[in-house]
């Protein structure tokens, strides 16, 4: 009998939700950085294993919001718990549960969802340290399973899939069996540029950029031409992004081009543009313009 269901991946920022999604899917569909709040929109990743189809949603880490963008991110977390079959809470294997986990578990309880807890980063944690963490979580919620994993090495992820699979409803698959994500390629391209900016300009521009694909054209010779617009909120950020004689923009451009080529499997001609738009994070019209580029319930930038 075929099984298919939706699994929402939740947790505080930086615990490895997007890394886990990429490992489970086997492709890089969500960007990852050592900085909290890397993920800004909901990303769907699809994994079909024989009779079972898992539809995962990666969410932004729960956080205190201070801008319209932050509010949109928080709404997308709350929405992500409704109408799904399973919640997958990701947390650090060496940290006791705190307020973010308690808030999320309250939401999960309200929605009456079965919840699996993945205690992540076991590759960098001593085994005996994990036991008290498991004990503390067990008092908070009646988890369907608690599984120590490493999203980085893939350790424990097979067991995790088995446990989740047991909770999925019997029904026909919703997506074709070879589907990986519902993210349009143009959104992924802009995200891969944002990832390089976050990795390189972590300190200089905290959360200051939005990236948007303005043009995405496949030429007859097989090369894909892509223009990505980088929007920052301060003129001095613009000069940091461009760098001395354009050096930063060139580095970001060539590294993200390599990643976009891997994703598309074609040669890419990538052009980056930088624009200053003060306070874009609070500009409702700008944010809605960005979200309208993709499906209506995703927040894109
Ligand atoms: N050692 C180790 N590091 C990990 C593991 N999983 C993720 N990380 C690192 O943790 C950091 C955050 O990873 P992300 O996947 O971006 O975390 P996230 O939960 O999606 O974060 P937000 O999108 O900000 O909510 C990155 O530097 C990852 O490389 C793991 O299993 N082991
Ligand atoms: Mg993430």
pLDDT digits (tens, 9 = 90+) for 85-107: 999 999 999 999 998 899 889 88
Q: Give the relative orientation of helices 68-81 and 99-110 as an angle to the nearest 10 degrees.
A: 50
- Are residues 33 and 27 in contact, defined by beta-carbon separation less than 8 angstroms? no
Closest residue to atom 9 of ligand 1, CA basis: 16
Closest residue to atom 21 of ligand 1, CA basis: 14
Q: Which ligand 1 atom sits nearest the alpha carbon of residue 19? A: 15
Note the pLDDT tens digit of each residue in 250-287: 999 999 999 999 988 899 999 999 998 877 777 766 66
Q: Is the pTM of this model over 0.85?
A: no
The closest alpha carbon to 113, from 138, 82, 137, belongs to: 82
The closest alpha carbon to 253, from 233, 270, 236, 234, belongs to: 270
User: What gap in Å lies between CA 184 and CA 264, rounded to an integer?
Assistant: 11
Pocket mutation for ligand 1, best pick of 11, 12, 13, 16 (most atoms within 8 Å of C-beta): 16
| Statement: 185-291 belongs to CATH 3.30.300.20 | yes
User: Which CATH number applies to 3-165: 3.40.309.10, 3.30.420.10, 2.60.40.10, 3.40.50.300?
Assistant: 3.40.50.300
Note the pLDDT tens digit of each residue in 194-247: 999 988 887 777 667 889 999 999 999 999 999 999 998 888 889 999 999 999
Which of 28-32, 72-76, 140-144 ranks highest by mean pLDDT?
140-144
Helix (H, G, I), strand (E, B) or coil at 99: helix
| Domain spans, the chain | 3-165, 185-291
């Amino acid at each position: 009998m075929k099984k298919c269901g939706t699994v929402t991946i939740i947790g505080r920022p930086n615990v490895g939700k997007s890394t886990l999604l990429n490992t489970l899917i086997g492709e890089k569909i969500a960007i990852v950085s050592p900085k909290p709040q890397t993920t800004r929109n909901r990303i769907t990743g699809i994994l079909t294993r024989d009779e079972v189809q898992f539809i995962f949603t990666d969410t932004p880490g729960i956080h205190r919001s201070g801008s319209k963008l932050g509010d949109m991110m928080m709404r997308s977390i709350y929405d992500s718990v409704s109408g799904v079959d399973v919640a997958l809470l990701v947390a650090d294997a060496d940290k006791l549960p705190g307020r973010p986990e308690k808030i999320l578990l309250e939401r999960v309880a309200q929605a009456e969802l079965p919840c699996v807890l993945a205690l992540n980063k076991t590759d960098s944690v001593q085994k005996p340290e994990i036991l008290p963490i498991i004990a503390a979580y067990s008092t908070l919620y009646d988890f369907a399973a608690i599984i120590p994993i490493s999203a980085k090495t893939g350790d424990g992820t097979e067991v995790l899939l088995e446990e989740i699979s047991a909770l999925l409803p019997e029904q026909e698959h919703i997506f074709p069996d070879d589907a990986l994500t519902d993210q349009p390629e143009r959104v992924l391209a802009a995200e891969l540029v944002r990832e390089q900016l976050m990795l390189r300009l972590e300190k200089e521009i905290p959360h200051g950029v939005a990236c948007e694909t303005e043009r995405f054209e496949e030429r007859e010779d097989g090369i894909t031409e892509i223009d990505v617009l980088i929007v920052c909120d301060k003129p001095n950020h613009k000069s940091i992004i461009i760098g001395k004689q354009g050096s930063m923009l060139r580095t970001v451009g060539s590294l993200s081009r390599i990643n976009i080529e891997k994703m598309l499997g074609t040669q890419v001609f990538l052009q980056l543009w930088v624009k200053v738009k003060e306070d874009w994070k609070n500009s409702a019209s700008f944010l809605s313009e960005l979200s309208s580029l993709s499906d209506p319930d995703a927040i894109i930038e």
